Structure 1
Amino acid sequence: MGGSMSTEERKRSASGNGNGGSSRKSDPNDSGGSVSSSNVSRSQTSDNSITPSHDFEWLQRNKLPKSHGVAYFLPPTDKEVDRYQMQHELLCIAFGKYSPHIAEVLTPGAKVLDVGCGSGEWMCEMAIEFAKVDFVGIDIANIFPISVKPNNCQFKLGNVLDGLPFPDDSFEFVHIRVMALGIKTERWPELLREGFRVLKPGGHLQVMEADPMVYNCGNAKQWFKGVCEMLAARGLDPFVGPKLHVLLSEVGFTSVYRKTRSIPIGWCGYVGKLMLDNTVTAAKAGKATLSGITPVPVNEYDQYIDSIGRACANSNAYCNFYSSWGKKPLLNLASSASNL
């Protein structure tokens, strides 16, 4: 559990588990494309009251450029880039690569923007599936694929908090996910407004996030609560996920929807093992910052995180993922004509 397993290793390990593979169950209240454990309680929020603290010293020990407004603290190392693939797989298991109705705008000649694209896993897979659609990704970290990428993919280096460097009405689909560790609370409406601006009328925006809080995790609860307090002290909103559909409506999107999925950590077959590996790897990647909230010396930090992982697995712990999406209204032709 201390290191990252490969995808095949996780699958082989899960196949020997008494639970078999992941427990997949469609939610009758959702519109397809999603899975969750049938044994996991959903959307617990009783621990979501977090008081910001200012007792933390922020250690900027990563390879990200120093840019205004960026709060992200997980360094984009090779191991962290590998974790992005795990995270991508988990999100696809939970919600699919995209909400089914979004396929209607992914027609030949359409353009898609991936905001905070990371190492481009989602973009590259989508570009293969939709070979006649053009995909553009933007991220602050230069960890883009160089030699192996579809011809209909291009990547742009930039800080999305400086504004999206594209004209109005440029894209049919804007995709945003797992930005909560880098976007401060007050900047979320601004980011979503930028997404709205660059969308063509009738286009769609989808945003996915996960709570850093882990539920039903036994004696690991205080550590995860401490992580949330730390994020709040950094000016981030650790629970922005369940609020995103409201923010989308406030920005001007219509036909706004939300899905919630609970993901097991360390139990329930392959999905649980994947989520456990993702959780432990992310916690170890944030050692320079997170060791400040951990009740052991720094040289014992990794072993402590392993014990957190075991507590999650033994307690049937889970975390919540959220996906929200909306549509940019079509131009009101009557209103436009009256303004001529």
Structure 2
Amino acid sequence: MANNGVSRIEHAPREYHEYPGAQYALPTDDAEHQRLLLQHNSIKSLFDNRILLAPVTLRPNDRVLDSGAGPGLWALDFAQSVDPAVHILGIDIASRLFPVSPPQNVAFQVGSVTNLPPDWTDTFTLVHQRLLMLALQIPEWTQALREIYRVLRPGGWVQLGESIAWFEGEYPDKPCMEKLVSLYRSLTKSRNLYIDCASHMPALLKEIGFIDIQAEERPLLMGKWAGADGVANATTNVGVFRGIKTPVLEAGGYGKVTTESEYDALVEGLEKEWEEIPGTKKEFVMFWARKPIN
């Protein structure tokens, strides 16, 4: 039985975060690490191989924070493009995916994006955070952004990347996608995750006190009809649906699936729909904003 009294659907579970109150819906295993690597490269390609859009000038001994770093892919990539005297720190709620031997100017530590150390106030010239829509609950977003604002130096920049989540009822020609989107929405609603944060990000940033708020939106195209990038995008997004299988089935399937094999068939059907029916896409948005000097 699940904790909420709903009958758990038997299945082969993957490895997930294990800490009190964890709501993060994706796994932390080796397969997820590979998915995140492909996703990082896909987003980088989407933005013309730019991983920094904020107009930041970094000087020796400046500090950069990668918030919710996961396996540290952005931090490791970014380290190759800056002076080695720039210090880069990645934090995440767990160390499971941290790189084993990062460069000398890159470090990682366990920490919560909603409760950064008190002595970090006015410390970082740049804070980067990406794709925590399946990690943070609705009230936690304001808290996390307040923490980012606090730890930024006056005049420092934040860069955030989030995708615009799919909505139910918009895919009549793709029944597997429609059902999986419904399951995705049911799961995230039950966990109070803010998957629609991208639509509200400019207002959230303004409310916290950020200025010079900018955004750039680009479409992630799904399927071989969109070339090599489309294949990679489809693979990473199919991987998301594979990744949420355990929490969906542990919650009893939300009245939409009753067995693991039924869920697996939906994902296989989704892959086929994206391959055979051109047009599936998901918008990805980069936001950047500045902390005022005064």
TM-score interval, normalised by the smaller of the two chains: 0.7 to 0.9
Task: For 1:231 and 1:178, locate their aligned partners in 2 and report how far apart those are by CA, in whole Å.
Answer: 14
* Partner in structure 2 of residue 323 of structure 1: 286
Letter aligned with residue 256 of structure 1: I
Relative distance call for 1:134 and 1:163 in structure 2 (3 A) is: closer
Residue 133 (structure 2) pairs with residue 209 (structure 1): no
Residue 53 (structure 2) pairs with residue 99 (structure 1): yes
- Give a deviation string over 1:78-116, Cα, whole Å, max 9, x none: 0001111011112212332010522x2x22221100000
Task: For 1:58 and 1:144, locate their aligned partners in 2 and report how far apart those are by CA, in whole Å.
Answer: 31
Relative distance call for 1:273 and 1:166 in structure 2 (3 A) is: farther
Which stretch has the larger CA shift, 260-269 or 169-178?
Answer: 260-269
Q: CA deviation at 1:250?
A: 0.7
* Partner in structure 2 of residue 146 of structure 1: 100
Q: CA deviation at 1:270?
A: 1.1
* Partner in structure 2 of residue 259 of structure 1: 216
- Give a deviation string over 1:31-69, Cα, whole Å, max 9, x none: xxxxxxxxxxxxxxxxxxxxxxx997799964423134x
Residue 263 (structure 2) pairs with residue 301 (structure 1): yes
The aligned length equals 274
* Partner in structure 1 of residue 151 of structure 2: 198
SS, match of residue 310 in structure 1: helix
* Partner in structure 2 of residue 11 of structure 1: none
Task: For 2:155 and 2:289, locate their aligned partners in 1 and report how far apart those are by CA, in whole Å.
Answer: 10
The answer on whether the counterparts of 2:92 and 2:111 sit within 8 Å (CA) in structure 1 is yes
Letter aligned with residue 228 of structure 1: R
Task: For 1:330 and 1:57, locate their aligned partners in 2 and report how far apart those are by CA, in whole Å.
Answer: 54
| CA RMSD after TM alignment | 2.3
Among candidates 176, 180, 191, match of residue 223 of structure 1: 180
The answer on whether the counterparts of 2:183 and 2:248 sit within 8 Å (CA) in structure 1 is no
SS, match of residue 120 in structure 2: coil
Task: For 2:140 and 2:40, locate their aligned partners in 1 and report how far apart those are by CA, in whole Å.
Answer: 24
Which stretch has the larger CA shift, 179-188 or 208-217?
Answer: 208-217
Letter aligned with residue 240 of structure 2: A
Letter aligned with residue 214 of structure 2: Y
Letter aligned with residue 327 of structure 1: R
SS, match of residue 208 in structure 1: strand
- Give a deviation string over 1:203-239, Cα, whole Å, max 9, x none: 0001111133176562222321331232122111221
| Gap regions ≥5 residues in structure 1 | 1-53, 332-340
The answer on whether the counterparts of 2:14 and 2:29 sit within 8 Å (CA) in structure 1 is no
Letter aligned with residue 285 of structure 2: Y
The answer on whether the counterparts of 1:213 and 1:225 sit within 8 Å (CA) in structure 2 is no
* Partner in structure 2 of residue 109 of structure 1: 61
Q: TM-score, normalised by structure 2?
A: 0.85
Relative distance call for 1:83 and 1:77 in structure 2 (3 A) is: same
Relative distance call for 1:296 and 1:320 in structure 2 (3 A) is: farther
Task: For 2:5 and 2:192, locate their aligned partners in 1 and report how far apart those are by CA, in whole Å.
Answer: 13
* Partner in structure 2 of residue 278 of structure 1: 236
The answer on whether the counterparts of 1:74 and 1:285 sit within 8 Å (CA) in structure 2 is yes
The answer on whether the counterparts of 1:63 and 1:75 sit within 8 Å (CA) in structure 2 is yes
Letter aligned with residue 258 of structure 1: A
SS, match of residue 146 in structure 1: coil
Among candidates 102, 118, 131, match of residue 178 of structure 1: 131
* Partner in structure 1 of residue 193 of structure 2: 236
The answer on whether the counterparts of 1:248 and 1:326 sit within 8 Å (CA) in structure 2 is yes
Task: For 2:117 and 2:46, locate their aligned partners in 1 and report how far apart those are by CA, in whole Å.
Answer: 28
Q: TM-score, normalised by structure 1?
A: 0.74
Letter aligned with residue 126 of structure 1: F
Task: For 2:246 and 2:226, locate their aligned partners in 1 and report how far apart those are by CA, in whole Å.
Answer: 31
Q: How high is the sequence identity, in percent, across the aligned residues?
A: 27
Relative distance call for 1:155 and 1:223 in structure 2 (3 A) is: same
The answer on whether the counterparts of 1:264 and 1:319 sit within 8 Å (CA) in structure 2 is yes
| Gap regions ≥5 residues in structure 2 | none
Q: CA deviation at 1:262?
A: 1.3
Q: CA deviation at 1:166?
A: 4.3
Relative distance call for 1:221 and 1:274 in structure 2 (3 A) is: same
The answer on whether the counterparts of 2:61 and 2:87 sit within 8 Å (CA) in structure 1 is yes
SS, match of residue 259 in structure 1: strand
Task: For 1:89 and 1:239, locate their aligned partners in 2 and report how far apart those are by CA, in whole Å.
Answer: 23
Instruction: Kindly report structure 1 stretches of 4+ aligned residues shifted beyond 6 Å.
Output: 54-61
The answer on whether the counterparts of 2:115 and 2:144 sit within 8 Å (CA) in structure 1 is no
